[in-house]
Structure 1
Amino acid sequence: MTSAYLLVIHGSRALRPQIAAERLAYIVKQQLSLRQLMRISRSLSTKNGTVETSVRGSTALLQSVPSPLIETASLELTSVSLSQRIQQLGEKAKIQGIQNLKIIPLFLLPGVHVREDIPEEVAIARQHLGKTMNLELMPYLGSHCRLTFFLSRQFEEAATVGKILIAHGSRYGGGNQPIESIAHHLQALPAYWSISPSLINPVNILVREGKKSITIVPYFLFAGRITTAIAQQVKQLQLTVPQIKLKMGSPLGATPELARLIIEIIQANLG
């Protein structure tokens, strides 16, 4: 085990996002352990001249593989600052003989948090940890090229089905450009929770276009207060357009598929 990992989320007063983050970290840990086991197993098989491994040998091998050190942290709405969490995990990693700590921002957009806030927290932690721990800030989750594919699976490909991608929205100049680009790629209309255009605008556009149903996919990491409010708004809108079926999609969630994307980000930046 050469690195420890810290998954960073925005933070919330609600418990659901934190529970989901812990669940995702657990899945990432499982997948990293399995990949490490497979590498060791292949290495032993090559030395022994066989690709077969007994069940008893696999169990013993699994028990001998050290569990990856993976934890979570919040940027905001937490009693412990991100820099402090980085320091805590860094000290824990030192005890286990680990000299590298990779920080992965589980953020979907390259906003101020990704560009400024998180790098500043990493810099503070680096000053306290010194040269004994190598801190590496990884690309944010939303930069992964396959994330759009995960969103596309929730949309039905039919001429009579309208598509809407709804995000939180940013008031910073250019802050919503990534959403516009993703929506365009998905042939969907963008909508925002906190700014205009709100959900009702693209719904009205698609109704006028004659769509028979509309799928609304939330561009959020986990379910929480805002996604619950969006789902309630969808129910209210459904009452105003009974001739159209409105279908609410799901946020990305703590899934094995998302865990694989995180591991791909880690492995794409080795070295």
Structure 2
Amino acid sequence: MSASTLSPTAYLLVFHGSRDPRPAQAAEYLAQFVRLQLESKPVGLTVAKSARPKGYVSPSSYFERLPMPLTSSSPIKANDPGDWPYSAYLPLVGTACLEAGALSLHEQIIEFGHRVSAAGVRSIRIVPLFLLKGIHVSEDIPAEVQLAQRALPTLTLRLCAHLGSHVGLEGLVRTKLQSTTADDWLLLAHGSRRIESNGAIQSLAESLGGTTAYWAVSPSLETQVIQLIQQGVQRLAILPYFLFTGPTTDAVTRRTEDLAERFPSISFHLLPPLGPSPELAHLVVDLALGWTPLRQNQGAISMKRVAFRHQIQRSSMGVLKR
């Protein structure tokens, strides 16, 4: 088989970004899990039409392998051309941030594109690691990808559905909740000024018998906690619906401690955020390959066409601590 018959693909995971180094480190761990799962998948396997879910996108027909994930600054070593295409250094999996990076997102995509092109890549699938379909997913990231596409005319940039659209997140949240014996629980999401985005979070919480609170919009964590206490809840679990530990989850911990001090008779169980894991990587791989039905009617888009505390317990002073 000649190289001209193949269309090798690289994968770029886009997260929000922070001046705190922890989210970037967690994104790299997730990229490693994604690479390992892509490496084990025979993506050239033909999928019967009857087995293809709605929104299915046929992946390229090749096997992929790569020793390490890539950041925008990761080097790509030249291979012996005689090994092509069987040692195509794939899957090439990188990470990029939307905000707080040294380069803008489109500049990171361009740099990543130049590097993976050296390995024979002809297309890049970009997966937004965002749980809400807010402004970042609907406008900011598509605009950055379009800018990058203009600078990479020999590559096809394909923007995949955002992580929050995957129906499998419900199972991931359910697994997180199995570690608590609380009477009730709150799903604490960042929240968006777009009502339809918050509606998806509310539906997720209600499907698992929980209540929704938001960090950036109403109803707030404090409001929902007080309401549940008035309903007689004595043991309350709080699940931060965030991808990675960072400044916001630190603030959630402090807010929960404040609430615990105000309501010493209530037992609070603060769960960890989703975090990088093989289970989360499985959802990312599904989106990257187009192998899953989506929570929303959104599929891949070709841009050429367009140490956080897990358990808080009451101390003698009435403040819940680890």
Say yes or no: TM over 0.5. yes
Q: Does 1:111 align with 2:134?
A: yes
Give 1:90 shift: 1.3
* Equivalent in 9, 13, 17 of residue 11 of structure 1: 17
Q: Does 1:169 align with 2:191?
A: yes
- 2:27 is matched with 21
Contact 1:33 1:65 in 2 (8 A): no
Task: Give the partner amino acid of 2:146.
Answer: A
- 2:116 is matched with 93
Partner Cα separation in structure 2 for residue 11 and residue 185 of structure 1: 30
Q: Which SS does the other structure have where 1:154 is aligned?
A: helix
1:195-242 C-alpha deviation (Å, 9 max, x unpaired): 222212221222222223111001101011111111111122112222
Give 1:157 shift: 10
1:1-50 C-alpha deviation (Å, 9 max, x unpaired): 821011001111100001101111111112212335998xxxxxxxxxxx
Give 1:64 shift: 5.8
Q: Which SS does the other structure have where 2:110 is aligned?
A: helix
Give 1:175 shift: 4.1
Task: Give the partner amino acid of 2:125.
Answer: K
Contact 1:162 1:215 in 2 (8 A): yes
Change over 3 Å in CA distance of 1:96–1:156 after alignment to 2: closer
- Listed as ranges, the gaps of 5+ residues in structure 2 are 1-6, 46-85, 292-299, 303-322
Partner Cα separation in structure 2 for residue 86 and residue 160 of structure 1: 44
Q: Which SS does the other structure have where 1:153 is aligned?
A: helix
Partner Cα separation in structure 1 for residue 40 and residue 175 of structure 2: 27
Partner Cα separation in structure 2 for residue 137 and residue 203 of structure 1: 38
Q: Does 1:123 align with 2:146?
A: yes
Change over 3 Å in CA distance of 1:181–1:88 after alignment to 2: same
Task: Give the partner amino acid of 2:105.
Answer: L
TM-score by length of structure 1 reads 0.84
Superposition RMSD in Å: 2.5
Partner Cα separation in structure 2 for residue 21 and residue 157 of structure 1: 24
Task: Give the partner amino acid of 2:212.
Answer: P
Q: Which SS does the other structure have where 2:284 is aligned?
A: helix
Contact 2:10 2:125 in 1 (8 A): yes
Aligned residues: 247
Partner Cα separation in structure 1 for residue 136 and residue 270 of structure 2: 28
* Equivalent in 247, 262, 266 of residue 288 of structure 2: 266
- 1:226 is matched with 248
- 1:30 is matched with 36
Contact 2:88 2:119 in 1 (8 A): no
Partner Cα separation in structure 1 for residue 179 and residue 112 of structure 2: 45
Give 1:170 shift: 2.2
Contact 1:5 1:103 in 2 (8 A): yes
Give 1:116 shift: 0.8
Task: Give the partner amino acid of 1:90.
Answer: G
**Superposition map of 1:78-227 within 5 A:** 78-130=101-153, 132-156=154-178, 161-227=183-249
Change over 3 Å in CA distance of 1:76–1:159 after alignment to 2: closer
- Listed as ranges, the gaps of 5+ residues in structure 1 are 40-62
Range that drifts further, 117-126 or 163-172: 163-172
TM-score by length of structure 2 reads 0.71
Change over 3 Å in CA distance of 1:123–1:232 after alignment to 2: same
- 1:48 is matched with none
Contact 1:37 1:65 in 2 (8 A): no
Q: Which one has a larger percent helix, Structure 1 or Structure 2? A: 1
Partner Cα separation in structure 2 for residue 230 and residue 262 of structure 1: 26
Partner Cα separation in structure 2 for residue 65 and residue 102 of structure 1: 17
Q: In percent, how many aligned pairs have the same letter?
A: 39
Partner Cα separation in structure 2 for residue 121 and residue 208 of structure 1: 46
1:103-143 C-alpha deviation (Å, 9 max, x unpaired): 1100111111111111111111111111x111100000000
- 1:252 is matched with 274
